[in-house]
């Protein structure tokens, strides 16, 4: 087994218990412990593991962009203070900012409410070669909108769209959308950051007690906390109905930030490893172009300079020097 295969095995061990089996019925908080971590794993080892994951991510992203065939959509859902922002910041350090986009979704605008409910999310899907993170996503349409039925009223739906089981219809529509995106080369990584009620209370208090965290606190967050049980039910239903083979949910334990970040990075690395993006092959005609340009540049060498200082610097060791010698 080579090194990269060993690493992937290690990653699989981290993420397997977090995956929501398609078709299973999830009951939160019973089925997933917000304080879970890999047995015996210490924070110090965890930091090393995260660094390794980030390095792998950066390499994969390079190839994803060069190949320009697949895109990756990362969907982040969580209750307030579960660590969405911190996870994005930590997991994405070390990747090329040109290849990543982050979109946060807030209360919809009048214009957005004048469209079908998926419309606003479609504007920001990743292009090929790109990793795009949705900080909240179309899943809010079966979460906050479910917990607050008045939000559904604001969506100006025709009566027939509100009759029957609205949420089941939406699960089906979301599953169809994700099937369509996957079939078209957009892979979807779905992370639910699972925080406990007590840890949320502590983090809210921290935001109140520390002056430089005050900006993060909103009394609205405390009002939402009063709906804790309804949210747990809405999340459970969402996980039960929208975890599919091609776009499974991962429940990321969020009470320990360090493990949360490792787990999130691990799922993303695994997805990229499955895509296994490759640098594009250089075509015959491009190869001829490269050779001609090389000859041209070498002929421009000033007196006394090496014809190709780069190749001379390699001393005949590196692969790059042989790249054109097919």
Query: Taking contact as CB under 5 A, which single stretch among the options 11-19, 76-84, 224-232, 286-294 is the one that binds Mg ion?
Result: 76-84
Check: CB of residue 271 under 8 Å from CB of residue 72: yes
Q: Which is nearer to Mg ion, 70 or 134 (CB)?
A: 134
Nearest by Cα to 130 from 55, 72, 91, 180: 72
Q: How many CB atoms lie within 10 A of CB 216?
A: 16
Tell which one of 133, 145, 193, 238 touches ligand AMP (CB under 6 A).
145
**144 sits near ligand AMP (criterion: CB under 6 A):** yes
Q: Which is nearer to ligand AMP, 83 or 108 (CB)?
A: 108
Question: What letter would DSSP give residue 24?
Answer: P
Which residue in the shown chain puts its C-beta closest to Mg ion?
A: 80
Nearest approach, Cβ of 207 to ligand AMP (angstroms)?
12
Nearest approach, Cβ of 216 to Mg ion (angstroms)?
7
Say how far residue 95 (Cα) sits from the centre of its chain: 13
Residues 223-262 that bind ligand AMP (CB under 6 A): none
CA dist list (Å): 265 to 47, 70, 71, 139, 158: 12, 19, 17, 21, 41
Binding at 108: pick from Mg ion, ligand AMP, none (beta carbon under 5-8 Å per type): ligand AMP
Query: Taking contact as CB under 6 A, which single stretch among the options 13-21, 58-66, 135-143, 254-262 is the one that binds ligand AMP?
Result: 135-143
Nearest by Cα to 87 from 244, 274, 267: 267
Binding at 237: pick from ligand AMP, Mg ion, none (beta carbon under 5-8 Å per type): none
Q: Which is nearer to Mg ion, 80 or 199 (CB)?
A: 80
**166 sits near ligand AMP (criterion: CB under 6 A):** no
Diameter over CA atoms, the chain = 83
Check: CB of residue 265 under 8 Å from CB of residue 54: yes
Q: State both tokens at 248.
A: 């499974």
Nearest by Cα to 84 from 136, 144, 26: 136
- Length of the chain (residues): 326
Query: Taking contact as CB under 6 A, which single stretch among the options 3-11, 36-44, 64-72, 106-114 is the one that binds ligand AMP?
Result: 106-114
**108 sits near ligand AMP (criterion: CB under 6 A):** yes
Tell which one of 130, 141, 178, 237 touches ligand AMP (CB under 6 A).
141
Q: Could you give the CA distance from residue 278 to residue 164 in angstroms, rounded to a whole number?
A: 47
**83 sits near ligand AMP (criterion: CB under 6 A):** no
Check: CB of residue 17 under 8 Å from CB of residue 36: yes
Q: Which is nearer to ligand AMP, 115 or 128 (CB)?
A: 115
**Cis ω before 29 (30° cut-off from 0):** yes
Tell which one of 30, 39, 44, 106 touches ligand AMP (CB under 6 A).
106
Question: What letter would DSSP give residue 116?
Answer: -
**Lookup result for tokens 């969402």:** 238
Q: Which is nearer to ligand AMP, 151 or 273 (CB)?
A: 151
Nearest approach, Cβ of 272 to ligand AMP (angstroms)?
26
Q: Which is nearer to ligand AMP, 140 or 255 (CB)?
A: 140
- Judged by the rule CB under 6 A, the positions of this chain that interact with ligand AMP are 104-108, 136, 140-141, 144-145, 151
């Amino acid at each position: 087994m080579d090194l990269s295969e060993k690493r992937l095995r290690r990653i699989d061990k981290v993420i397997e218990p977090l995956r929501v089996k398609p078709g299973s019925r999830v009951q939160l908080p019973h089925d997933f412990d917000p304080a879970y971590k890999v047995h015996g794993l210490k924070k110090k080892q965890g930091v090393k593991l995260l660094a390794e994951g980030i390095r792998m991510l950066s390499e994969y992203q390079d190839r994803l962009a060069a190949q320009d065939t697949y895109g990756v959509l990362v969907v982040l859902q969580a209750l307030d203070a579960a660590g969405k922002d911190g996870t994005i910041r930590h997991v994405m350090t070390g990747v090329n900012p040109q290849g990543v986009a982050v979109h946060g979704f807030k209360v919809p605008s009048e214009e957005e409410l004048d469209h079908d409910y998926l419309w606003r999310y479609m504007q920001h899907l990743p292009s090929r070669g790109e990793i795009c993170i949705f900080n909240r996503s179309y899943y809010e349409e079966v979460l906050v909108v479910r917990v607050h039925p008045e939000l559904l009223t604001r969506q100006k739906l025709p009566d027939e769209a509100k009759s029957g089981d609205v949420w089941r219809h939406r699960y089906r529509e979301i599953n169809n959308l994700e099937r369509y995106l996957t079939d078209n080369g957009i892979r979807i990584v779905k992370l639910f950051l699972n925080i406990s009620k007590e840890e949320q209370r502590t983090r809210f208090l921290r935001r109140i007690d520390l002056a430089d965290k005050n900006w993060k606190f909103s009394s609205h967050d405390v009002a939402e906390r009063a709906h804790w049980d309804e949210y747990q039910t809405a999340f459970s239903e969402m996980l039960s109905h929208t975890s599919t083979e091609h776009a499974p949910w991962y429940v990321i334990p969020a009470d320990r930030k360090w493990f949360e970040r490792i787990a999130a990075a691990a799922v993303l690395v695994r997805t990229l490893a499955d895509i296994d993006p490759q640098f594009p092959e250089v075509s015959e005609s491009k190869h001829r172009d490269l050779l001609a340009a090389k000859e041209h540049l070498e002929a421009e060498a000033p007196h006394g300079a090496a014809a190709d200082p780069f190749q001379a610097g390699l001393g005949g060791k590196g692969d790059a020097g042989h790249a054109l010698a097919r």
